[in-house]
Amino acid sequence: MDIVVSGIRSTGKLHLGNYFGAIRNFVRMQRENKCFFFIADYHSLTTHPKPDDLHGNIKQVLAEFLACGIDPEVATVFIQSDIPEVPELYLLLNMNAYVGELQRTTSFKEKVRKQPDNVNAGLLTYPVLMAADIIIHKATKVPVGKDQEQHLEMTRRFARRFNTMYGVNYFPEPDAYNFGEKLIKIPGLDGSGKMGKSDDNGIYLSDSPEEIRKKVMKAVTDAGPTVPNQKMSVPIKNLFTIMSVVSDPATVKYYKEKYATCEIRYGEMKKQLAEDIIKFVTPIRERIIQISSDTKYLAKVVAEGAEKARASASATLRDVKEIIGYRKWI
Ligand code: TRP
């Protein structure tokens, strides 16, 4: 049985990309592994949210996690900032993380480019905090998407470095969780890259039917195929990718054939796609509304999750401090 750790940043509502990329897999793996799923609300401070937004986002993401089927009776579900052992391990790991390697991290370089007026030290040490999240539970597996692979590689390096430095075999080097089937990357509706919050090209799990219809009908398409079996442009391929996760296989087949014979009408396809997304999202959305109104239940979930996560984290931290040389006097 593997120990699995995964976090999700609390930057707001979850979208279909989060669902098919991560959450659905969390739900699938929770019963076969010892899973720690948490809301990375320290990581989200790098973007300077307002206090009320931070709080609201944490609550929202938690309710959405649970609405998707993550079971707090099975997995350990918690909030990063409830575990003080994490920042303590982060401090210790920072002593063995070199500024040069942190500056060379792809995600850091991207932030420097995208937000030159907020290159804070938290961004620089983001991978160290993430490593602390993971190795504090001695994780063996981490489900990560492409954009987090380098961070996982750094986690492995920090774990290895600690072991070498102190001549111990204490931390396992966590591997990427292998899903067997290929990870589905959900594209956005703007015809370009993947669905993401920052680009606002996505469908949220909490979107109402009207919002979904509006967004899908506005999705970017092209002028339509003019020769049989024409190669698909990226925006059209994207619509088919979304369709492949929410619609019946027969529906996908129908529109693919229409495309191949140049008879496709994008307006008709989008209408169908919108209805299928609505059918998929509506039960989740209703559960989100119900769960997020039950503050008492949410409070119980995070309190129990924190207790379980702290038990695991404090045992590791005790060992680590002892290994480093913080010893009892008597
Ligand atoms: N950095 C991850 C992301 O942006 C979130 C995260 C924080 C995480 N700590 C983690 C993911 C530990 C996996 C394990 O998606």
CATH number (domain holding residue 278):
1.10.240.10
> Catalytic annotation on 109?
no
Domain containing 12 — which CATH number? 3.40.50.620
Is the separation of the CB atoms in 27 and 75 below 8 Å?
no
Same domain, 152 and 284: no
Ligand 1: lining residues by beta carbon, under 6 Å: 5-9, 40, 43, 130, 133-134, 142, 144, 148, 151
* 308 is known as an active-site residue: no
Q: Are residues 134 and 266 in the same domain?
A: no
Q: Please identify every stretch of the chain with a pLDDT value under 70, giving residue numbers as ranges.
A: 180-183, 197-199
Q: Are residues 43 and 162 in the same domain?
A: yes
Cα separation, 215 vs 209, whole angstroms: 10
What confidence score (pLDDT) does residue 182 get? 61
Mark whether 197 is an active-site residue: yes
Same domain, 113 and 257: no
| Cα(128) to centroid(ligand 1), Å | 11
pLDDT of residue 180: 67
Please tell me whether residues 141 and 277 are part of one structural domain.
Answer: no
Q: Does residue 224 form part of some domain?
A: yes
Asked whether residue 12 falls in the same domain as residue 50, the answer is yes
Q: Domain check: are 300 and 155 in the same one?
A: yes
> Do both 311 and 243 map to the same domain?
no
Could you tell me the residue range of the domain that residue 49 belongs to?
3-184+295-324
Distance 12 CA to ligand 1 centre (A): 15
Q: What is the pLDDT of residue 21?
A: 85
Give the position, in ligand 1's atom list, of the atom nearest the Cα of 151: 1
Q: Which atom of ligand 1 is nearest to the CA of 133?
A: 12
Return the ligand 1 atom nearest residue 129 CA.
9
Distance (Å, rounded) from C-alpha 313 to C-alpha 128? 16
CA atoms within 13 A on the CB side of 82: 20
Q: Is residue 202 part of a domain?
A: no
Select which of 111, 141, 215, 270 is catalytic. 111
Give the CB-side neighbour count of residue 297, counting CA atoms within 13 A: 13
Inside any domain, residue 59: yes
What pLDDT, on the 0 to 100 scale, is given for residue 282?
98
In a shared domain, residues 316 and 246: no
Residues 65 and 170 placed together within one structural domain of the fold: yes
Percent of the chain with pLDDT over 90: 90
Q: How many domains does the chain have?
A: 2
Question: Do 173 and 156 belong to one domain?
Answer: yes
Per the residue annotation, which of 13, 185, 194, 256 is the catalytic one? Answer: 194
